[in-house]
Structure 1
Amino acid sequence: MAGVFCLGIATLDYVYSVETMPTRGEKYRSRGLAVVGGGCAGNASVAIARLGGDCWLATRLADDFTGDRIVADLNAEDVDTRFARRVAGLTSPVSAILVDAQGERMVISHSDPAMPEDVDWLPHELPGEAGAVLADTRWGEGALAALRLARAAGVPGVLDGDRKPPHPDLVATASHVAFSQQALREVSGEEDPRRGLAKIARDASTWLAVTLGKEGVLHWDGQVRHSPAFVIETVDTLGAGDVWHGAFALALAEGRDEVGAIRFASAAAALKCTRFGGRDGAPAREEVERFLSEQR
């Protein structure tokens, strides 16, 4: 069984289903509520576990009730949380999220700014079964340490570039970076993602891509290539990008090439979007394989 060592943020999300996004300062009624674990790395780690991979999550949490719930939910999904650091006197990450009738979301999140930045407590080598590393951008020094572990072990080191990387060496240290459209725009200064990808690829040895939601994925292999998204009825996009990154990293750990990994990850993310409740909608391996077998 392939495994992925993940590092980054794990949260507790309060996800409210609404007809439309609020536009005025008044009371609104939610059609549904899901209280579920979240965060880029947290969601990705659960996606990996549901897809049949081993997964270890290094994350920073407070020694509070919210942190207890986050760890318990991850353990229930068979995510190994031995590398979850608990810090007394702080608050664990939490988010309030609105999802409208079109499946789009609005996120209000809080992470304690006093959370320690040091990396001394992280492992000095990867767990023996880890065939890839996945890091998000919420903790720059930690992400850099994790990606250096991947380089030392000779395995893929994937950066989830959903925000502009906070450390200048992150992109160069990763073997693979998949940006969000916003982060690519911030890094490249280009509104058009094709131009932005081409611009930063000229000076990079890292494999680069940008995820565009329902518009699919662009990646660079000497020129910009496009992988279309699967056509589905969208219910909730919350966590879809995190599921995509988790599935992509697992596919690389299993030995797939990048094009195959994009297709596998896009299928997992598409299935997630058909279900309300953030990462609760992350699919099992057999669902993804069946979905792919039905595509033409």
Structure 2
Amino acid sequence: MAGVFCLGIATLDYVYSVASLPTKGEKYRARDLVVVGGGCASNAAVAIARLGGQAWLATRLADDLTGDRILADLKAEGVEAGFALRVPGLRSPVSAILVDGEGERMVISYSDPAMPEDIGWLPTELPEAAGAVLADTRWGDGSFAALGLARDSGVPGVLDADRQPPHPALLSTASHVAFSAQALREVSGDDDPREGLARAAQGVDTWLAVTLGKEGVLFQEAGGIAHLPAFAVETVDTLGAGDVWHGAFALALAERMSEREAVRFASATAALKCARFGGRSGTPSREELERFLAQHG
């Protein structure tokens, strides 16, 4: 069984289904509500576990009831959360998310600014079965340390660059970086994602990609930029789709798929998630994913 060591944020999400996103300071009634764990690295870890991989998560939480719920959800999903730091007197991350009738979302999140930056508690070696590392951009020092472990261990180190990385060195420390469209614009200064990807690649010995939602994924291949279209599904909820994509991509690399195979594997996982309401609760199992891929050639 392939495994991925994940590092980054874990939250508790309150996900509300609404007909349309609010535009005025008025009262609104939600059509549905799901309370579920969230956060970039946490969602990725759950995706890895549901897809049949081993997942470890290093994250920072407060010693509060929210943190208890976050860890309980992770353990129920089969994620090894023994690397979580619990800090007394602070507040664990939490988000309120509105999802409209088209599946688009509005996120209001809170992370305690007093959460310690110290990395001294992190492991100095990866778990024996870890075949890849995944880090998000919410804790720069921690991500740098985790990606450094991947490099030292000779396994893929994937950076989920959904925001501009806090440390430029993260791009060169990772072996694989997948940007969101916004983060790529911020890093490259280009509105065109192809041009932006080419500019971001200058002077960096790292495989780069950018996820573009319904427009698919652009990625480096054979000295140029390749494109794989997105899988067509009826979009219900895009919340967590990028996180799930990164988790599936890292697992595919740990299973020694090629980058092209990993992109397709991850894109199918994210598409199935988007077809279901409830954030990461819509993440498919490996059986569902394999069936979906078989149906789509």
TM-score normalised by structure 2 residue count: 0.99
Does the residue aligned with 2:125 lie in a helix, a strand or coil? coil
CA distance in structure 2 between the partners assigned to 1:290 and 1:168 by the alignment:
40
Q: Post-superposition, which runs of at least 4 consecutive aligned residues in structure 1 deviate over 3 A?
A: none
Aligned amino acid, residue 265 of structure 2: F
Q: Which residue of 1 aligns with 2:58?
A: 58
Matching residue's letter, 1:293: A
2:272 maps to what in 1? 271
| Equivalent position SS for 1:133 | strand
How far does residue 103 in structure 1 lie from its aligned partner after superposition?
0.2
Residue 234 of structure 1 aligns with an amino acid whose one-letter code is T
Q: How does 1:27-38 map to 2 (within 5 A)?
A: 27-38=27-38
Which SS does the other structure have where 2:287 is aligned? Answer: helix
Following TM superposition, by how much is the alpha carbon of 1:201 offset from its aligned partner in structure 2, in angstroms? 1.2
Q: Distance in 1 between matches of 2:182 and 2:104?
A: 16
Q: Deviations over 1:135-159 (max 9, x none)?
A: 0000000000000000111000000
**Matched letter for residue 227 of structure 1:** L
Q: How do residues 12-31 of structure 1 correspond to structure 2 at under 5 angstroms?
A: 12-31=12-31
Residue equivalent to 1:111 = 111
Q: Which amino acid in structure 2 is aligned with residue 195 of structure 1?
A: E
Amino acid at match of 1:252: L
**1:294 and 2:295 aligned:** yes
Alignment match, 1:177? 177
SS at match of 1:116: coil
Q: Tell me how far apart the structure 2 counterparts of residues 48 and 220 of structure 1 sit (CA, whole Å).
A: 24
Letter in 2 for 1:95: S
Letter matched to residue 228 of structure 1: P
The separation in 2 between residues aligned to 1:200 and 1:187, in whole angstroms, is 7
SS at match of 1:214: helix
Task: Give the structure 2 partner of residue 92 of structure 1.
Answer: 92
2: distance between equivalents of 1:197 and 1:168?
Answer: 15
Per-residue CA deviations over 1:230-261 (Å, capped at 9, x if unaligned) read 00000000000000000000000000000000
SS in 2 for 1:81: coil
Partner of 1:262: 263
Work out the number of aligned pairs and report it. Answer: 296
Cα deviation, residue 76, structure 1: 0.3
Which residue identity does 1:251 align to in structure 2?
A: A
Match of 2:241 in 1: 240
- Offset from partner CA, 1:113-169 (integer Å, 9 cap, x none): 000001000000000000000000000000000000001110000000000000121
Name the CA distance, whole Å, in 2 between partners of 1:39 and 1:92. 12
Aligned residue for 1:242, secondary structure, equals helix
Structure 1 position 202, deviation (Å) = 2.3
3-state SS of the aligned residue for 2:59?
strand
Q: Aligned letter for 1:104? A: E
Superposed CA RMSD in Å reads 0.5
Distance in 2, matches of 1:157 and 1:40, equals 15
1:220 paired residue number: 220
Q: Indicate the residue corresponding to 2:67 in structure 1.
A: 67
Aligned identity (percent) is 75
Partner Cα separation in structure 1 for residue 107 and residue 185 of structure 2: 20
CA distance in 2, matches of 1:262, 1:87: 37
Structure 1: 5+ residue runs without aligned partners?
A: none
Higher alpha-carbon deviation: 202-211 or 10-19: 202-211
Question: Counterpart of 2:232?
Answer: 231
Matches of 2:200 and 2:177 in 1, distance apart?
A: 11
Distance, in Å, in 1 between the alignment partners of 2:89 and 2:121 is 18
Residue identity in the other structure for 2:96:
A
Structure 1 Cα separation of the partners of residues 239 and 97 of structure 2: 9
SS in 1 for 2:204: coil
Deviation at 1:200, TM superposition (A): 1.3
Q: TM-score, length-normalised on structure 1?
A: 0.99
